Amino acid sequence: MRTLFERLIDYAGLFPPARLPMQRAAEEYEGIISGPYAWISGRFIVLASQITELSDALDNRRFSVGAIVDAGSDARDWLAKVQEKMRTLSAVRAESPFIEVEAIEVAVPAPTAARETFDPAIGQFAMASHNAMLRDLPAYVELPWTKRFDELLPSAMFALARSKLAAKIRCGGLDQSAFPSSAQIAAFLLTALENDVPFKATAGLHHPIRRVDASSGLLMHGFLNVLAASVFARQGADRAELEAILEERDAGAFRVTDVEFGWRHRRADVDAVAEMRKSGFISYGSCSFSEPIDDLITLGILVGSPTAV
């Protein structure tokens, strides 16, 4: 369980649907990292443009931060904005005693012309990171969902591997159209594995098991489903089986013990899970920390009381 969930959930309380004010989000994260499930918590996710506001809210507290380079989606000025935000992060990293920038995230623009790919933007971001002296940090590049995503994915993953960058997959949003299919996620997992590209996820993974969310009515992917698919892809599961794992809605089909993680007939030992978490599915961003923790407690995977969060 420790191997499976350690530092899994990056706290993104500033982002939809929570959209907490900075001070409240900082206070909530402080409670998380001093609470009983601190070992599951990852970084505090913040936009690069909000990093000064975060610094003002910290009040001598030290935060581990994942900074999103908010450069927009317009290819015409995307690179200039990336360079500007990277300079800001470089300065914060060098000067702030309370903000430890541990990782960078960025979304590249969607190609507009028929022959365009994600590859040039990936290379440009790698160079901007190098110029800002941030290449030692993990950097997660989000490839926006487009009609040509399946076509462009293989070359994009190769470009990420060549530049020693990680990937980022968006698993949901505020309406059903923002949620990728299980087939798309399976293809992403297999292509990342084939190119040895680690990745993180964001959005839509509030619950461990795939289900319709009661509050929103949206059919959501489960983070336990994605963890299982990521583990068993490394054991030779093909795309059809990965889709079945991602579609699984029966919590009883999953098994977490001291010695193994399982889905139906599939089993993985601690070493296999550790290797996947180290070089595969690194973390995911969630605007709520208590919601996934409460669900794990309800399922009997974590021991404790939901009110403890």
* 246-265 confidence digits (pLDDT tens): 999 999 999 999 999 999 99
Please provide the average confidence, as pLDDT, over all residues in the chain: 95
Confidence of residue 124 (pLDDT cuts 50, 70, 90): very high
- How do the domains of the chain map onto residue ranges? 2-308
Q: Which two tokens stand for residue 18?
A: 């929570």
CA distances from 246 to 62, 120, 162, 225, 276 (A): 37, 31, 29, 5, 17
Query: What single-letter DSSP state applies at residue 109?
Result: P
* 225-246 confidence digits (pLDDT tens): 999 999 999 999 999 999 999 9
* 150-187 confidence digits (pLDDT tens): 999 999 999 999 999 999 999 998 888 889 999 999 99
* 38-61 confidence digits (pLDDT tens): 999 999 999 999 999 999 999 888
pLDDT at 308: 45
pLDDT at 173: 86
Element (H, E) at 101: strand 99-107
User: How many residues does this entry show for the chain?
Assistant: 309
95 CB-side CA count, 13 A: 9
Q: 203: left (phi > 0), else alpha (psi -120 to 50), else beta?
A: left
pLDDT at 306: 62
- Residue 10: pLDDT over 60: yes
Q: What share of the chain in percent tops pLDDT 90?
A: 88
69 CB-side CA count, 13 A: 32
Which residue type does 306 have? P
Determine the average pLDDT of the residues in 278-305: 94
Q: Which two tokens stand for residue 254?
A: 């999953």
Report the alpha-carbon distance of residue 226 to residue 205 in Å, rounded: 9
CB 31 within 8 A of CB 23: no
pLDDT at 291: 94
Neighbours of 198 (CB within 10 A): 20
Residue 273, phi then psi, degrees to nearest 5: -65, -40
pLDDT at 108: 97
Query: What single-letter DSSP state applies at residue 207?
Result: B
Residue 57, phi then psi, degrees to nearest 5: -90, -10
The CATH superfamily assigned to 2-308 is: Aldolase class I (3.20.20.70)
pLDDT at 309: 43
Confidence of residue 215 (pLDDT cuts 50, 70, 90): confident
* 57-75 confidence digits (pLDDT tens): 998 889 999 999 999 999 9
